[in-house]
Amino acid sequence: MTVRVIFVSPAIGPELRQARFADEASAYGGDAAGGLDVADGGDALDEAGVRAARALRADLPVASHRFRSPSARCRRTAEELGLADAVAEPALRGCATGRWRGRTLDAVAAEEPEAVMAWLADPAAAPHGGESVRQLCARAAGWLDGTAAGLTGRVLVVAEPDAVRAAAVHALGVPDLAFRRLDVPPLAVVELTGRAGRWNLRLG
């Protein structure tokens, strides 16, 4: 049987506009998110994000399974998309960024330029003390090949942009260096189809 997994990235909000590392309550390690939602650290979406999510609602197909990342912005986006019953999935949380959490990329780059360069160039690097891109990609792959592959029909997932990128890397079977080559803008829709242990990325 074929399963179609449709990822939707969160709508625009303060963190995305400011290129700020998500200020998630959970740190990396074990079942860090514990299946619980991350508490709001301010407004998860701004007014433009809310309007855009509501406008997209009518274009989304009906799905028999609904999931989302545990972050506040994914929860709020799911609500505005009419997916308030989406299950919070810890495996789809954003990449844990350790001591950089809650800070802007510009501020971190000004203080730790070599660490940021290493983080951008090496998928195995985690200079912030959190999670590497390689670990994130492995986590997303585990969810796709485990939970998602065991489902049938259509699956809607509101997921953090880096989780969507990691899922696409796995579906394409490309090296995790490709992670930095993928851009996932707010409310991007990315569809993966899976059958017999193989994933395809559907364009258009």
Look at residue 66 in the predicted model and tell me its pLDDT.
98
Pairing mode of beta strands 189-195, 198-202 = antiparallel
Whether residue 94 has pLDDT greater than 50: yes
Distance separating alpha carbons of residues 178 and 34, to the nearest angstrom: 29
The DSSP letter of residue 28 is: S
The DSSP letter of residue 181 is: G
List the one residue out of 108, 100, 151, 153 whose CA is nearest residue 128. 100
pLDDT tens column, 137-160: 999 999 999 999 999 999 999 999
Look at residue 24 in the predicted model and tell me its pLDDT.
59
Distance separating alpha carbons of residues 148 and 96, to the nearest angstrom: 22
Contact by Cβ (8 Å): 9, 168: no
Look at residue 33 in the predicted model and tell me its pLDDT.
40
pLDDT tens column, 176-201: 999 999 999 999 999 999 987 899 99
DSSP assignment of 104-152, as one string? BHHHHHHH-HHHHHHHHH-TT--TTSS--HHHHHHHHHHHHHTTGGG--
Whether residue 81 has pLDDT greater than 80: yes
Whether residue 29 has pLDDT greater than 70: no
Look at residue 22 in the predicted model and tell me its pLDDT.
81
